[in-house]
Structure formats: structure tokens, C-alpha cells
Amino acid sequence: MPSPRRNIEGRPLVASASSSSSSSSPGSPAHGGSSRFEFQSLLSSRASGGDPTCARLRVSDSPVHRRGSFPLAGAVPSQAPPPPLPEEDRMDLNPSFLGIALRSLLAIDLWLSKKLGVCAGESSSWGSVRPLMKLLEISGHGIPWLLGTLYCLSRSDSWAGREVLMNLLFALLLDLLLVALLKGLVRRRRPAHNQMDMFVTLSVDKYSFPSGHATRAALVSRFILNHLVLAIPLRVLVVLWAFILGLSRVMLGRHNVTDVAFGFFWGYMQYSIVDYCWLSPHNAPLLFVLWN
Ligand SMILES: CC(C)=CCC/C(C)=C/CC/C(C)=C/COP(=O)(O)O
């Protein structure tokens, strides 16, 4: 007499004994209802204290995996339960809600970024605007901002001006460092439709998360709005510049939307760090004396 079919832990399955008398009954493997056995197996594992949040099906135990050798319910060979398989040989049946949400967000991100990448090449639908976008790209590049700040520092003749510029320099260097660290950690590739024809880049700039232009745009614009006295139209212009610069990164095909969105957030937060560590002649006297 065939021994009862067993689940993945080796416990007998309820259905196997009754189905042995009628191998083509609905729900039996011969009837294409193999999943019933598997769910019973999972249920029995739950009942016996298995992990209820992660029902798993062994690939090698599934009918798909055992193509051509799927036994009829009445002809189950009497064998000892198979040895446990390594973790990577299993399929998750119920990935977490967070996993599904992240995957969906990623899919929307890729789809939207591709759709918005209308200046990714000369032959793209908005290809004629590409030179303008590349000009905007330079306006948010690290080199002009660093050189511009150093130049203004060298021309500044007031302590107050020097203090603000010194902190802007610190902010720009901190931004370069943190973005390089993040890019190196996350290592997300730039979109496939991007042409790597950017003005001076660092080695980590082959990665796209987060957008360095977006972090700089958010950081610098928050810095300017907090430390320069500007008329309202100029303040609006600063915010617009930051927003359009971020958008242009996606339109040029340099980034996905999430790279830019996170870049804005990160740049905004970086300003809080700069503000917290604000350099002044009181807490960094050496720096100011040396510069003089
Ligand atoms: C002092 C020093 C290390 C200066 C390097 C300045 C430099 C080459 C910055 C790179 C700026 C850049 C191309 C960032 C990439 O921006 P994404 O928006 O494409 O991430």
C-alpha cells in the first residue's frame, strides 16, 4: 500500500489518502488540481506553527518543476521526505505589501522617466531644446558654483559676506561628498536612453541616484533664500530655476524621476546640516584668519 503523500516538512497530507481511490477526482493532481495539495501542505505547516506571514512553495516540490514525472495521487512512491532545500531554491508566494508597493513605484518611475525624456537625444521629440537644457545643466554644475564662490570670497571685503560665502563653500563641498557617497552606495545606473555627454564628471557620476544637480539646486536655493535679501520676483526666480533644473535632468534622460525627487529632498536636508554647523569667526576662527 502506498504511503501517504507528505508535505514539505514530511507531515502526511489529508487529501492524499482519499484521492488514492479516485486518481481523477477534482482537486487531484491528475485533474490539474495540484495546487490543492500544495495549499493543504501550507495550511498544515501553518497549523503546526510554521511562519504564517510567508507561505512558501518549494520549486522542486511543485508540479511545474517535476515536469514529466508528476505522480498520480494513487501511485505516490513510498519515499522518505526529500532533504531540505537551500533558501534560494524557493519561491515567495506572498511578497510583502512594501515589496509590491516599491516594485510598482519603480515601474511607474521608469515609465514616467522614459516618457519625460523628450530631450534625451537630438532625434528625440524635443531634441531641438537639448542645447538649452544642457546650458541649464551647466548652471547647476559643481564647478561653476565652486569657482564662483571662491571668486566672490576673494573679492569680499566684509566679515559678514565672507562668513556667508565660507559657509556656501562648505555646503557645496559637503554636497559633493555626500552625493558621491550615496551614489557609490546605491549604484543605480542612469537610464538606458541617456547619452553620457556631460560636462566634467566624477567617476561616481556614472550612477544616477540621487541627482547631484537636484541636491545642489535645492541646497543652493534654500541657502540663497535664507541669506540674501532679494525682491520677491527674484526669490520666485530662484525657486523656478531649481525646479526647472530638476525637470531638465529627466528631460535630458540623465535621471529617473525618483533620482530628482530624492535629490531635492536630500539637498533641502543638507541645508539643515549646514545651518546646524554654521561656521563663524567664533567657532572656526582659524579658518577666517587663514582666509584673510
Ligand atoms: C572639488 C571637486 C571634487 C570638484 C568636482 C566638481 C565636479 C566635477 C562635480 C560633478 C558635478 C556633476 C557632473 C554631478 C552629476 O550631477 P547629476 O545630476 O547628473 O547627478
DSSP string, the chain: -PPPPB-TTSPBPHHHHHHTT-TTSTTSGGGT-HHHHHHHHHHHHHHTT--TT--EEEGGGSTTTTTT-PPPGGG----PPPPPPPGGGEEESS--HHHHHHHHHHHHHHHHHHHH-TTSSTTSTTGGGHHHHHHHHHHT-HHHHHHHHHHHHHH--SHHHHHHHHHHHHHHHHHHHHHHHHHHHH-PBPPTT-----SS--GGGGB-SS-HHHHHHHHHHHHHHHHS---HHHHHHHHHHHHHHHHHHHHTTS--HHHHHHHHHHHHHHHHHHHHT---TTT-HHHHHHH-
Q: How many angstroms separate the alpha carbon of residue 183 from the centre of ligand 1?
A: 11
Q: Give residue ranges with CB within 6 A of ligand 1.
A: 141-143, 146, 176, 198, 200-202, 205, 211-213, 249, 254
pLDDT at 81: 74
Supply the pLDDT for residue 290. 79
Per-residue pLDDT of the chain (292 residues; tens, 9 = 90+): 344 444 434 444 443 333 333 333 333 333 333 333 333 333 334 434 444 333 333 433 433 333 333 333 344 445 677 776 665 555 556 679 999 999 999 999 999 999 999 999 999 999 999 999 999 999 999 999 999 999 999 999 999 999 999 999 999 999 999 999 999 999 999 999 999 999 999 999 999 999 999 999 999 999 999 999 999 999 999 999 999 999 999 999 999 999 999 999 999 999 999 999 999 999 988 888 877 6
Q: What is the interface pTM, i.e. ipTM, of the complex?
A: 0.96
pLDDT at 117: 97
Number of the ligand 1 atom closest to the C-alpha atom of 183: 20
The atom number, within ligand 1, closest to the CA of 190 reads: 19
Topology at the third CATH level for domain 102-291: Vanadium-containing Chloroperoxidase; domain 1 (1.20.144)
Please report the pLDDT score of residue 90 as a whole number. 55
pLDDT score for 31: 38
Domain ranges of the chain: 13-93, 102-291
